[in-house]
Amino acid sequence: MSRLRVFSMEGLNLYVSPFLHKEGDLIRAVNVDNFPKGALSKRSGYTTYLGTPDNSVVTSLFDWHRNDGTTFWTYRLSNGELYYSTQGTGAWTLCGNGTFSGGAQPGYAVLEDTMLIGDGTTLTRHTTDGTSFTNTDAAPYAQYFTEYQNRIYAGGTASDLFFSTTGSPTNWISDSSSLKIPGPGKINDVSKTQDRLVASKNSGKMFRWDGYSLADLTTDLGPSSSYAVGEIEDYRIWPNRRGLYGFNGDLPQLISNPIVRQIYNNAGSGIPGTAFDTLTGATHKYDYYLSAGTSITEDLTNETVSNCVFRYDYPQNQYYNYSLATFPTAWHSFRNNTGDEQLIFGDANGQCYTLGGTALSDNGQPINSVAEGVLHFGSPEGQNKLNYLWAFANPGCQAHIQVALSDSFTKGKLNWMSLGDFSDGVAEMRFPNNSSGRLLFWKLSESSMGTKFVFYGFVLDVELEEH
């Protein structure tokens, strides 16, 4: 007789065979977070952020904080119209000269307390008051901007990377020039990493510029979508058709092996190939969020996650799925007027939301949380006898825990057994006599709008078959 203790949940692991899993690896993790470390908790919900000036899809969200340290605006673009909110709390108001091409996702950069913005189709513009924009004479048509070495660099309509006059975001005549980014494709991202400017192309090619020479990074693993590039302490994260990559200024590194079967798989039920160029995402504190698709199905459990968002926990290198009541079409994280970091997203109906905090529902819709794992006992060829199981959670927990003994991974053949009430934080089950099997599946589920749970793990009393 042996006691197996499972008190370390390690996030999704869909890359290796389940027979190589550690006891805490998950094959499903929907609407759960890894807090405290080693445990699983229900994710926070979201509430509305400001109103709906129109009912069109929100294609871009960003903010601009002035150099005075107090004044700022949040911005949204929908139906080609740019709106601002003073201090992030005022009503959405249409910007002066704020009409862009429909469906645009503009880029922006700030230099000398002036913000420059463009979508690559309409005239590039600038603002000094945050509410009205002026056409920027001689500035290139561009969609991607960044400040580097006291200039604004701009690109996006082809392979030319332009830069402004030193110290002036609005002067594109004197001391202004351009350089050609070689290779196939056009520029689709311009950013800074490790005090170097990095220009990427939609072919995945990447080049690094130090103000004097252009270095070819000899890779095609650059971002497929600039709208999904996140940054954590100068470490950038982005999607590519081969997975999610991290970049510290040297070469992109693959970081998405644990969820690769949700990105692409033999069933063709991962991220659609046509979606990669317009994926949206953002980093918030130490997490990266990516709107993966309205329907993502990996080919291990064959379970579908609707309105699927990948959440990557950067410090712990772990992945979880969020299934939100509405699909995010744009993301942004900013410091609000109380000094707190706030994560917002927009949807296809023109509404924006704040994700996180104390919200217990998705704007009035219950949060359906599911976590699932499988145990092979290190000897899946044997018929192991199960005696008792004790599970532990917070008092008042409304989650439901089930187990199923099986000799295969066939979902339809799993006969789930419930452990019963979990409200006092401890659930106990005595398995029926002669309960044995090669595999033990366990599943935690909860759907409510009034409480959260923290699931710490379980202990299993099992008699392993001797060989």
- Region 185-199: mean pLDDT is 96
Q: How many domains does the chain have?
A: 2
Whether the model clears a pTM of 0.75, i.e. scores above it, the answer is yes
Residue given tokens 């644990």 in the structure block: 258
Chain CA centroid to CA 47, Å: 18
State whether 243 and 302 are in the same domain.
yes
* 395 Cβ neighbours under 8 A, 6+ residues apart: 423, 424, 425
Decide if 120 is inside a domain: no
Band (466; pLDDT cuts 50, 70, 90): low
State whether 230 and 318 are in the same domain.
yes
Omega cis (within 30) before 223: no
Range with the poorest average pLDDT among 80-89, 117-126, 191-200, 457-466: 457-466
State whether 316 and 229 are in the same domain.
yes
Chosen domain end from 290, 323, 356: 323
Decide if 69 is inside a domain: no
Residues 318, 450: Cα–Cα separation, whole Å:
27
- Region 291-300: mean pLDDT is 94
Decide if 35 is inside a domain: yes
Structural domain harbouring 290: 222-323
Three-class DSSP category at 114: strand
pLDDT at 104: 74
Nearest one of 96, 59, 49, 62 to 80, comparing CA atoms: 59
Find the helix or strand (DSSP H, E) in which 199 lies. Answer: strand 196-201
Decide if 307 is inside a domain: yes
303-361 pLDDT per residue, tens: 999 999 999 999 999 999 999 999 999 999 999 999 999 999 999 999 999 999 899 99
Chosen domain end from 295, 323, 351: 323
pLDDT at 467 over 60: no
Structure tokens at 448: 């409510």
Strand segments, DSSP code E, in 281-383 are 281-284, 287-297, 304-313, 318-323, 330-335, 341-346, 352-355, 367-375
Q: Output the domain CATH number for residue 415.
A: 2.60.120
Residues 337, 316: Cα–Cα separation, whole Å:
30
Report DSSP state, residue 258: G
Residues 207, 219: Cα–Cα separation, whole Å:
9
pLDDT at 383: 82
221-274 pLDDT per residue, tens: 999 999 999 999 999 999 999 999 999 999 999 999 999 999 999 889 999 999
Decide if 290 is inside a domain: yes
The pLDDT > 70 percentage for the chain reads: 99
Range with the poorest average pLDDT among 21-35, 114-128, 348-362, 381-395: 381-395
Residues 455, 369: Cα–Cα separation, whole Å:
12
State whether 231 and 311 are in the same domain.
yes
Band (412; pLDDT cuts 50, 70, 90): confident
Instruction: Please say whether the beta carbons of 406 and 435 come within 8 A.
Output: no
Decide if 184 is inside a domain: no
* 433 Cβ neighbours under 8 A, 6+ residues apart: none
Q: Which residues pair with 96 in a beta bridge?
A: 132
445-454 pLDDT per residue, tens: 999 888 889 9
State whether 288 and 381 are in the same domain.
no
Decide if 358 is inside a domain: no
Q: What is the mean pLDDT of the chain?
A: 94
pLDDT at 103: 73
Alpha helices in 188-329 (DSSP H): 260-263
Chosen domain end from 265, 295, 323: 323
Decide if 447 is inside a domain: yes
pLDDT at 108: 97
pLDDT at 1: 61
